Amino acid sequence: MSDAPLTHSGNTVLLLLLVSLLFPVPALAQDSDTSRDFAIVGINVIPMDEERRLDNQTVVVTGGVIQSVSDTAATTLPPGLHQISGEGRYLMPGLVDLHIHLRHEDELVSNLAWGVTTVMHLGGSGELGQRLLGYRKEIRDGTRLGPNIYTTGRILDGDPAVASSAVSLATPEQARAAVKDLKSDGYDFIKTYNNVSQPVFAAIVDEANRQSLSVFGHVPRNFDALSALTGGQDAVVHTEEFFFTYFEGPRSTANMSRDFEPDMSKLPALVKALVDNDVAVMPDLSFTFTNLLMWDGLENVWSDPEFAYLQPDTASMWQAGNINRRDNLENFIVRGQWKYNLMQELTIEFQKAGILQVIGTDASLPGLFPGKAVHRELTELVKAGTSNYDALAMGTANAGEFVKRYLDKDVLVGQIVPGYRADFVILNDDPLQDVRNARAIGAVVVNGVYTDKSQLDERRAEQRARYAIFNGARDNVDSALLLESPDAPIQELLQDHRENPDILKAIERRINAAGYAAAFAAELDRSEQLLELNTRLFPLSANTWDSLAEIVLGRGDDERAVQLYRKALEVDPTFTNAAENIDRILENTER
């Protein structure tokens, strides 16, 4: 199926299509594609073990593992082995994005469509983390289309936690318990955040070592940056962290001086700490560049064809939370340019020093499309001064080394050589000649499961059509919210979509986003009215009560905020954010 608008004739076909749109099923690998034994014949191989290309090769895969790579003219294949014509195209290891925040299962297919065969989710809600563990098993079994997944659960932070979804840790004992919980729940690593204290950080690292878990994250802001790098942090997930910590760039844009210059005489000590302690780094240039791009004009993102494939809840989040809603925006952009320039320089200096650098994009934060963000990062790396090969290596061979070193020592991925897992992409053009050719995807293989790009396009066309229904409901919500009394039209909309819980949830989130948008615009009465409306429409959602409580708390009404947080806990006793906020409010009151 092409990306053209869907048209069908016949009532039966139309009915079946509507059923599939309103009641979506997981994207499953088709039965004919689940055989993991095949040969790709007559293909040009970019193995990524060094900078080279092997022309006219035959690659044999059995059991999801690469068995041989050999000259086609000299290769005799066993009888009955399924053959795929390479047609003179190019075979490269699948791309790896080691820093994503996956929000919806549809993003798995989007990543595949852009040639991303492995992702690492760096935390959010515990519920999402558990779902990702389920998706991971289905992908490994070949029953779901998607990249291989590594994940943690909730982020670990200090007290108070900066990130709303993070676990707040005040003591080393709490830190050790949190690490043990993540291990017992089946997660792959630990992610730390800005506000951890040095004793809490040390406890996290020590317990993570005991539990055989690596520690990735931001560079803590409460103590010397080199202490974290020498104290057991395995990876820094943004090069921008060094701007804020080691090079002491302005953390606040309020009343910011315009004369900042990083002291580059400090660079050798930073490089030495990273090298001596085997700390990996994710440049993540695309995150900062995209912020600058959105400031120049949101149409640079909104008009991207990929926007049609963005899950509606994520699209709403982008519209409500993009950088143009920041305070002190002009200072923010000036600081962003300083940061971007430093990050480019650090990327090249780290490359010269042999520091393990890997691609991590922060998709799906605003402007960073799932899957496509990796290609933005590739071009940003080349703009910074890397070669095409070195940029590609950060998303393939280097990423494979990262996986083996920090996540699973038994996994071989990121190269096309015998014994490695069959995760690769077939490209129509040579990416060594132009890194943008990595976008010219013809097929994707994950764990030896072959999926043609046309199948991925068909899946995504179905998603796009489903999103059109969501977006229609969203637009109706927006229109209703402009009315003096929006309750009745929204109740009617809820009735129309009562059989589709996904759309009902989208309506709830749309109202919630409108409430927060009003708060960002300092329209606090309007914000409270919208969030109160959401509690009336969705009284069984803990999140509606929690959101209203947050605004009420921000307005200084601690007593009512506690009542609302308690209501959230009545609806969902496991809603830990509400419980933590109640404890914090009561503790402050006692003081």
* Residue 394 three-state SS: helix
Domains of the chain: 93-427 (3.20.20.140), 457-590 (1.25.40.10)
C-alpha distances in angstroms, 397 versus 58, 286, 391, 400, 443?
A: 21, 20, 10, 5, 20
Q: How many Cα atoms occupy the beta-carbon half-sphere of 176 within 13 Å?
A: 9
Q: How far is 585 from 571, CA to CA, in rounded Å?
A: 20
Of 253, 257, 255, 249, the C-alpha closest to 333 is: 253
pLDDT score for 394 = 98
Angle 158-164-170 from CA coordinates, rounded to 5°: 20
Strand 116-121 versus strand 148-151 pairing type: parallel
DSSP one-letter code for 418: T
Q: Among candidates 62, 69, 110, which has minimal Cα distance to 86?
A: 69
| Cα first-last separation, the chain | 64
283 beta partners: none
Per-residue confidence (pLDDT) for residue 317, from 0 to 100: 87
Distance of alpha carbon 325 from alpha carbon 360, whole angstroms: 25
Residue type, 361: T
H-helix or E-strand spanning residue 545:
helix 542-554
Cα separation of 279 and 276, whole Å? 8
The rounded distance, in Å, linking the Cα atoms of 445 and 298 is: 34
Cis peptide before 479 (omega within 30 of 0): no
Label the pairing between strands 83-85 and 38-45. parallel
For position 364, what pLDDT does the model report?
A: 93
Q: What is the rounded distance in angstroms from the CA atom of residue 299 to the CA atom of residue 301?
A: 5
**Predicted local distance difference test score (pLDDT) of residue 27:** 52
- Six-digit token string for 91: 């075979």
pLDDT 10s per residue in the chain (591 long)?
333 333 333 333 333 333 333 334 445 444 334 478 999 999 999 999 999 999 999 999 999 999 999 999 999 999 999 999 999 999 999 999 999 999 999 999 999 999 999 999 998 888 888 999 999 999 999 899 999 999 999 999 999 998 878 999 999 999 999 999 999 999 999 999 999 999 999 999 999 999 999 999 999 999 999 999 999 999 999 999 999 999 999 999 999 999 999 999 999 999 999 999 999 999 999 999 999 999 999 999 999 999 999 988 898 889 888 999 888 999 999 999 999 999 999 999 999 999 999 999 999 999 999 999 999 999 999 999 999 999 999 999 999 999 999 999 999 999 999 999 999 999 999 999 999 999 999 999 999 999 999 999 999 999 999 898 888 888 899 999 999 889 899 999 999 888 888 889 888 988 998 999 899 889 999 999 999 999 999 999 999 999 999 999 999 999 999 999 999 999 999 888 888 889 889 888 766
Q: Are 197 and 158 in contact (CB under 8 A)?
A: yes
Helix or strand or coil: residue 170?
coil
CB within 8 Å of 572: residues ≥ 6 apart: 542
pLDDT of residue 509: 86
